[in-house]
Amino acid sequence: MHKLLPASLALALSYPVGAMADTSSDVRALQKEMKVMRADYEARLKALEQRVKAAEAAAAPAATRAASAADAPTAAGAAGPTAATAAPVAGAPSWSTATVAAPTAAPVAAPAAASVAAPVAAASGGGASSFNPALSLILSGGYTRTSRDPADYRITGFPLPPGAEIGPGTRGFSLGETELGFSASVDPWFRGAANISVAADNSVSIEEAFVETTALGKGFSLKGGRFFSGVGYLNPQHSHTWDFIDAPLAYQAMLGTQYGDDGVQLKWIAPIDHYVELGLEMGRGLTFPGSDKDSNGAGMYALTVHTGGDIGISNTWRAGISMLNAKASAQELLWTDAVGLPVASLFTGNSRVWVLDGVWKWAPNGNATRTNFKLQGEYLRSERSGSMVTAIDGTGVPSPYGVTQSGWYLQGVYQFMPNWRVGLRTERLDPGTPSFGLDTGLVGSNYRPSKNSVMIDYNPSEFSRIRLQFAQDRARDGKPDNQISLQYQMSLGAHGAHSY
C-alpha cells in the first residue's frame, strides 16, 4: 500500500506534463499553418493589386474620352441610380450643368480572370458596352382645354408652311411626343447619338442623328449629321427640358418652333477662365425658314457667339448672339386676304434670323437643390427678301417681296421649395410691313400677337415631372384663346446632363 501511493502520485504528476507537451506541438503546428496562410494571402493580395493597376491603365483612355465629351449622357444603373453632378465645361458657370444619374457601385466579387478581361476588352473597343449604347425613353402626355378650335390656329401677320407645328395641339386627352434616344462612344475619337420622335398621330421622325468628335483638342469639336441648330438659347434643347409646355411665339413664327437641319457644326471653346464659345454651322436648309432644294451648295449657314460666367458664388449668367441664314425655293406659305380667307403663295428668296439671348440664374451659395431662380429672355429678328407668286397653279407672275419681323419673350421660373416650381412668361410679336412689288391680293396686318403664360410643376425626382399651365393666347386677331394644359413627363433609362 505504501509503494502504491508514491507510484500513483508520480503518474498523476506526469500526465499534465505529457498533455502540455502535446498541446505545445499542436500550437506549433497551428502557427506554421498560419504562416503558410499569411504568405499565400499576401501573394494573392499582391497579385490583385497588380491586376487593379493594369485595369486602371487599360481604362484610362475611356476616362479621357468621357472627360472630353462634356455632354455625353451617363447611363443609369440597373440596381438604382444615385445622384452625381456632371462637371461643367471649363470657364462655364459653376453650377450650370444639371444633376445626372450614375450607376450605384457594385461589390467586387467577380473571379480574378474576369476582373482583368473586362477592362482590357473595353479598352480595345470590343467590350459589352460597345454593343449596348446608353438608351433613354421620354414619355409625355396630358390633357388640353382651349376656348378656340386649335385646328384653325394661326399667328396673324406671319405666313407659315402648311402643317407647321404651332399652337396648343389637340384638345382633350392626348399622347405627347415620345422620344427614344441612343448614345455611345464609337472609339477614342468619336461618339454617336440619335433621337427618334413618335408624335401623337403615330408619325415617326428622326430629330437628331449625328457623330461628334471627342479628341480634336485645343477646345474644338466637330459634329456631322442631323441636329438642332445652336442658335439662340432654347433652340438646341429638347422640348422635354423646356420650362414651359410650348415654345414661345417668336420661335414658332420665325423658326418653325425649332430649327434642325442636316449638316456640320464646328465649335470652339476658348481655353481661358472666362467662358467663350464660338460656333459655325453649314447645312442643307431643310426646314422653315428655309426649304429643301436639290443643289450641291449649302442651303443654310449659322454663326453663334456665347459667353458667360459667375458673379460671386450665388449668381451665374450667359449671353449670346446668333445669326441663321437660310434659302427657300418655291416655299408654300399660307396667307390671309383682305376678307380673312386663306391664300396660298410660293416664296423664293433668302431669310436671315438674328437671335439675342440671355440667361441669369441665382441659387443661394450655388446650391440649387432647395431653392433657385432663373430669368431667361430672347429677341428674334427675321429679314426675308425675294419674290412671291400667289397663283400656285403656274399662271402667277413673281412679285418682289420683302419684310422685317421681330418678336421677344421674357420668362422667370422660381423653385420656392424642393420639387416645386412656378413660372411666368410674357411675349409679343411685330409682323412688320410687307412690301409687294405687284398687286398680289395679299395684305399685311397691324395686329401684334401676344401671349401670357403661368405654370406650376411638381418634380418628384429628376426623372419625372407633372406640370399645370394656363395661357391667354392672343396670336389670332380677335377673341383670345384661353388654354389650360396638364402635362406629365417621365424619363426612363440613361439621363444625360442638361445644358446651362
Question: pLDDT tens-digit profile of 135-173?
Answer: 999 999 999 999 999 988 999 999 999 988 899 989 999
Distance CA 279, CA 305 (A): 6
Checking if the pLDDT of 76 tops 80, the result is no
Question: pLDDT tens-digit profile of 403-433?
Answer: 999 999 999 999 999 999 999 999 999 999 9
Whole-number pLDDT of residue 121: 38
Checking if the pLDDT of 45 tops 50, the result is yes
- What confidence tier does 467 reach under pLDDT thresholds 50, 70, 90? very high
Q: Which domains does the chain have, with CATH numbers?
A: 143-174+208-493 (2.40.160.10)
Question: pLDDT tens-digit profile of 232-241?
Answer: 999 999 999 9
- Is the torsion defined by CA of 405, 177, 419, 81 positive or negative? negative
Whole-number pLDDT of residue 337: 66
Distance CA 89, CA 86 (A): 9
Least-confidence region, from 99-103, 174-178, 460-464: 99-103
With pLDDT > 70 as the criterion, what percentage of the chain qualifies? 78
- Report the candidate in 266, 278, 256, 207 with the shortest Cα–Cα distance to residue 382: 256
Whole-number pLDDT of residue 15: 47
- Report the candidate in 359, 358, 404, 399 with the shortest Cα–Cα distance to residue 381: 404
**pLDDT mean across residues, the chain:** 82
CA atoms within 13 A on the CB side of 43: 6
Higher pLDDT, 330 or 395: 330
| CA-based radius of gyration for the chain | 33
Going by their DSSP bridges, the two strands 134-146 and 178-185 should be labelled as: antiparallel
Checking if the pLDDT of 100 tops 70, the result is no
pTM: 0.75
Q: How many CB atoms lie within 10 A of CB 164?
A: 20
Whole-number pLDDT of residue 9: 45
Query: Which cell numbers hold the place of 54?
Result: 493594369
Q: How many CB atoms lie within 10 A of CB 484?
A: 14
DSSP code of residue 86: P
